[in-house]
Structure 1
Amino acid sequence: MIHFIKKKYLYAAAAVLTLCLGLTACGEKEDNTSKIDLADGTYTAEFTTDSSMFHVNEAYDNKGTLTVKDGQATIHVTLQSKKILNLFPGTAEDAQKDGAQLLEPTTDTVDYGDGDIDEAYGFDVPVPALDEEFDLALIGNKGVWYDHKVKVSNPQPYEESETTASAETTEAAADASEAEATTEAASAEALSDGTYMISLDFEGGSGKASIISPAKVTITNGEAIATVEWSSPNYDYMIVNGEKYLPVNTEGNSVFEIPVVLDEPVDVIGDTVAMSKPHEIEYTLTFHSETATAE
């Protein structure tokens, strides 16, 4: 009988030990929420990403407004346009699961400090830790989720003068405006006149057709003309800046020569005859000058 009682208590002790190992400490509730070691308040902090296509609006110098309360933090960032529709604090895979809580955009007014005012989407992003990369997925108007890594760092006490752009950012915007006034194709100035192969990002449409990357870009007197080849022979014209361009070939995939600006999104229209009747479809092309290789 005594032997049976000892054995019974040994089993019970083992069960308790197993339960304790599953917690942070025996008798304590596990807390998976990261804490931010900052006093409650409002800060300006840097928000950096792993992509040149996903970043804070240039008027804010890669910074957002960090709010801390009870050890939890959220940073509000204003993006460069309204093309990113939702964010998700996690991976693209998890963002598409039932019940995923997507971050909804706000419409922010952006003052560039040079008289130019625009609107762009902003988001309140939960921050699990400072100075550490974390997952933040996004979906754009193309309807595809993308994985990204972001980091929040260098928090500084918030000042009222930072409600739009900092003085440093305003000065940079003025410098950029002056540079643009020097030439209509300022982004091509970094490349001398010549012919290059340049990688491009392609957005829009249904995903059934695309423009082949890299594409040939010829720069003359600072102006860039791209020779773009579609993955389809069914495009009969393109429209860029309100002007219509016809194909430069008669066989194979549709090829066009169109004006572009490097390192900036270029909105174009492609008319396809692949459907029961012609359709004009909007696309966005971004040519990255850092990928240029002389042809």
Structure 2
Amino acid sequence: MKKRTISKMFLMCAAATVLATGCAGGNKGTNAAGTESAQSTENATGAESAQSAESVSDKAAEAEKSGAVASGDETVEAKEVVEEGMEPVLADALKEGTYEVKVDSSSSMFTVTKCELTVKDGKMQAVMTMSGSGYGKLYLGKAEEAADEEESKTIPAETAADGSCTFTVPVEALDKGIDCSAFSKKKEKWYDREIVFRADSLPSEAYAEGTIVTAESLGLKDGTYTVEVKMDGGSGKVSVTSPTHLTVKDGVVMAEVIWSSPNYDYMKVDDVKYDRIGQVGEGDHSAFEIPVAEFDRKLAVLADTVAMSQPHEISYTLTFDSSSLKAEN
């Protein structure tokens, strides 16, 4: 009886010891899990805090950037400057030298009044004279890019001897749209612009031999021909007769240009004035004879109309297609 009591007491003590050890182990595990959970929470909170700070920084940078770029009602409506049929003209198509070239701009607030193009060592560079001095620098690219760019990558304004504002820019190609952002000194913002250096405003002698199509290169003999002519520019309300007549004499080509309107009194080619054939107001058209130095390239012309309250010169281009030439009997 005494032995049974001792054994029972021993078993109870052993069970108590196991339970105590188990509880102790359980508390230890719980404490470890709690510590890990706290550390995990702390790490997560730190990461979220860092991400939040980074997000705030990005938003601040974006706000600063957007504030430096004009948009919406701060800009005027842009116009297309790249015309249908334009093909890029690279430096190797031109002779080395300096030429006056016309520059079209997508914005009436960014007007180039004069431009000198220099071709040298297979590269082109232009000095653009602006209509005003409101822009302090340019960047060849989009306004958003300009806002992020280093100051050393921008093109600063220069003051010419006559006090006008100029910018000296590299020219990748003529007859190609070039993104050109302008920084307003007054608004302290970048404005998106697009410009085109017009190949048709260069004189024929600016082109390298073999790059233009002439009466000589075509082997045209003296005589009369017909040729298809395409007109671009103006309001689109008038047209020219096509095909039209050509006369070749001693290597000089003269084209008869017949407008669908009777209201033109003269034309200009390379600043030379050509009067109308016949009296203004006669018939339902206006006819002129003008020289054609080359084919297959846009020829810049001016035609003066008297249909408005005041006479007004309108810019057009005429392209004479050499593949359509036919000799008249």
TM-score, normalised relative to structure 2 = 0.39
Structure with the higher fraction of residues in helix conformation = 2
